[in-house]
Structure 1
Amino acid sequence: MGAKEVESTGITPVQQIIVSSSGALLTSLFVTPLDVVKIRLQAQNKPLYKENVLRSKPGNCFVYCNGLMDHLCFCDNGNSKVWYKAPSRFQGTLDAFIQIIRKEGIKSLWSGLPPTLVMAVPATVVYFTSYDRLRDFLMYKLENYANVAPLLAGAIARLGAVTLISPLELIRTKMQSRQLSYSELHQCIHNAVAKNGWLSLWRGWGPTVLRDVPFSAMYWYNYEQGKKWLCKRSGTAETTFAINFTSGAVSGSIAAIVTLPFDVVKTRRQIELGELEALNKVTTKKSSSTWIMMNRIIVENGFTGLFTGLMPRLIKVAPACAIMISTYEFGKSFFYKLNAEQLKPVKLVP
């Protein structure tokens, strides 16, 4: 490993991939049980889409999000092979944890972890690696406005990651909703591209960008500013694990609150389209724009309807952001010190 390879950021791209992948794995392991329980509680309360509108076999569609990725959970007659196994009656969150562990084993709390990692790991690697490189580049170019660099780098990195992963997310959703074989999936994608063009593979890109890009811009700006403030308050020159963890949790919470209306719109659209996909319903009606759907939510539920699910979102996003960023920063610090030791000149003893 040469000096030039680690000169700008202190670690190599391969090392960045290792630490970002480790962060995605740990975040998924810690946060997945929260959403598994949430889906079980949702399923026993009420369906999220009216069965009398679908006029077909009963089934619920839920959105699973562990702080890294969103997934649609399809439950036909109260069952799903991946996310949800059997209907039960729970008295609350703690009761749900206890019953699931007793009846199905502790591993059931991590149902759906493999498909999460298949999508989350590459998306996280692209996102975090791009952010670090872009931030350093923009701080060099915008020397007089260095504080803006994290905001711009976070927005651009998230835009790139969403654009790159969007077709894979669409493919995964189709496989999950219809239980397609690979040959059927290939034919489905071929027909969609032939009919609607290649851009059809990026369906749903707009609402995702409206939610994730502002989230990332605010998150990284507040995170970098929070780190500086906490270091100054504690009188330390270097950030610690506790400082990174706290900054990640607070900045993630702020960004989650501000972007919640876009998350509500995206969740409602995912659920409605997911139900139609699961039941093989074909509709020629175009989906409403984000702004039209926001207006509809306000008319139906008032302005507070745009902030539905605030506490569950914070309960997931805050620890997810804290675990991910603190793990990532710890890994970078480890490799930085390792590389510095290897680059030290060797003293020859006469």
Structure 2
Amino acid sequence: MTQATVEEFEYEALPENASLAASLLAGAFAGVAEHAVMYPVDSIKTRMQILQPTPQAAYSGVINAASRITTTEGARTLWRGVNSVIMGAGPAHALYFATYEHAKQAFGGNGSGHHPLAAAAAGACATVAHDALMNPFDVIKQRMQVHGSVYRGIVECATKVYRAEGLRAFYVSYPTTLTMTIPFQSIQFSTYEYLRKVLNPSGAYDPMTHIMAGGVAGGVAAAATTPLDVAKTLLQTRGESKDIRIRNCNGLVEAWRLIYQRQGLAGFAKGLQPRVLSHMPSTAICWSVYEYGKWFLSRDNMDKQPIMI
């Protein structure tokens, strides 16, 4: 067995003797990098998905939104709530990737050839664990992103939302979030794994492959699940609305019915452009950072083992 073959095999999954902390750290760094870098575009997406925006927050597109927000509210407004994402993304993504690696191995996804169903199933398992931890942080983030938000920080936001709406406010969107993210991650993981193996059949570490495969996978998954994301935004920001029907909206079906009544089919595509624009680079960043972490851990592991020739 050559050194290249050993490195190739060891890289595909994290080395067995890699510490749990090191494995989780790779996922945590990937999550923070993914969400933080493209956060301003995510803020624009949230604003564009609000069902009944104020005249000051009705935007015709991404460029129009960015220009008006920075001009009237200041560029820092686009970063409101980013601390919530950073706090939640680290542990949530650590759990996410640890679950994915374990599930992919269990489902036979690390074998030779293409295994889209194994990758999709592993992605779904990872999503359930990730969203359970991340959902409250996402609610806080979106409450701070909306136009006219009065919260000065994430602690104040969490406290006021809890006092006014109770614990349920942080999880009312969880079923809808899972309905969206399970197909999103299944599409993303299966697309990524397929493209990674097509673009790089050897399986060796190649940053450009991870960037390209991750970007395409993120864009495809984001576009396909935008209607679900519109409903999620409505549920997570409902407490900031003065509309009684929006404030009392309790689930995906009711949210979709309300969106259709107010905006027709076009309402389900609100925020499509910024959603795709944010997910393509952020997913590329996430996968490239995570794959680098896997490669680094595997390389460090190989330095401590005898090489079979």
TM range (shorter): 0.7 to 0.9
- 2:8 aligned residue: none
Shift in Å at residue 21 of structure 1? 2.1
Q: 2 CA distance for matches of 1:190 and 1:98?
A: 30
* Residue in structure 2 matching 1:243, options 209, 229, 234: 209
Shift in Å at residue 161 of structure 1? 1.7
Which string of whole-angstrom CA distances, capped at 9 and with x for unpartnered residues, describes residues 241-300 of structure 1?
A: 111111111111111111111011111232333336xxxx99998525322332343344
- Equivalent residues of 1:60, 1:275 under 8 A apart: no
- 1:13 aligned residue: 20
Distance 1:173 1:129, change over 3 A: same
1:179-328 correspondence runs (5 A) = 185=159, 192=166, 202-232=171-201, 236-275=202-241, 286-328=248-290
- 5+ residue gaps, structure 2: 1-10
Q: 2 CA distance for matches of 1:91 and 1:165?
A: 29
Which string of whole-angstrom CA distances, capped at 9 and with x for unpartnered residues, describes residues 169-216 of structure 1?
A: 56788898767978x9499579947xxxxx776322111111111111
Shift in Å at residue 149 of structure 1? 1.2
Distance 1:114 1:158, change over 3 A: same
Shift in Å at residue 12 of structure 1? 2.9
Q: 1 CA distance for matches of 2:162 and 2:65?
A: 39
- 2:6 aligned residue: none
Q: What is the percentage of aligned positions where both structures have the same residue?
A: 21
Q: 1 CA distance for matches of 2:274 and 2:20?
A: 35
**Are 2:102 and 1:136 equivalent residues in the alignment?**
no
Q: Alignment partner of 2:33: what SS?
A: helix
Q: Alignment partner of 1:139: what SS?
A: coil
- 1:31 aligned residue: 38
Which string of whole-angstrom CA distances, capped at 9 and with x for unpartnered residues, describes residues 114-137 of structure 1?
A: 222111111111111111111111
Q: 2 CA distance for matches of 1:13 and 1:210?
A: 29
Shift in Å at residue 310 of structure 1? 1.3
Shift in Å at residue 91 of structure 1? 8.1
Shift in Å at residue 156 of structure 1? 1.1
Q: 2 CA distance for matches of 1:98 and 1:286?
A: 32
- Equivalent residues of 2:131, 2:178 under 8 A apart: yes
- Equivalent residues of 1:245, 1:326 under 8 A apart: yes
- Equivalent residues of 2:84, 2:138 under 8 A apart: no
Structure ID, larger Rg: 1
Higher relative contact order (CA closer than 8 Å, sequence separation 6+):
2
- 5+ residue gaps, structure 1: 1-5, 52-57, 63-89, 194-198, 346-350
RMSD: 4.5
Larger CA deviation: 199-208 vs 218-227: 199-208
- 1:151 aligned residue: 120
- Equivalent residues of 1:123, 1:161 under 8 A apart: yes
User: How many residues are matched?
Assistant: 287
Shift in Å at residue 240 of structure 1? 0.9
Q: 1 CA distance for matches of 2:220 and 2:105?
A: 24
The letter for the 1-side match of 2:99 is S
Q: Alignment partner of 1:342: what SS?
A: coil
- Equivalent residues of 2:14, 2:297 under 8 A apart: no
Distance 1:320 1:128, change over 3 A: same
Which string of whole-angstrom CA distances, capped at 9 and with x for unpartnered residues, describes residues 46-87 of structure 1?
A: 986367xxxxxx99799xxxxxxxxxxxxxxxxxxxxxxxxx
Q: Alignment partner of 1:271: what SS?
A: helix
Distance 1:142 1:61, change over 3 A: farther
* Residue in structure 1 matching 2:82, options 113, 135, 139: 113
**Are 2:296 and 1:334 equivalent residues in the alignment?**
yes
Q: 2 CA distance for matches of 1:35 and 1:340?
A: 39
- Equivalent residues of 1:126, 1:161 under 8 A apart: yes
- Equivalent residues of 1:142, 1:149 under 8 A apart: no
Which string of whole-angstrom CA distances, capped at 9 and with x for unpartnered residues, describes residues 307-342 of structure 1?
A: 122111111011110000111001110110111111
TM-score (norm. length: structure 1):
0.65
Distance 1:59 1:206, change over 3 A: farther
1:87-98 correspondence runs (5 A) = 92=64
Q: 1 CA distance for matches of 2:214 and 2:253?
A: 30
Q: 2 CA distance for matches of 1:308 and 1:221?
A: 26
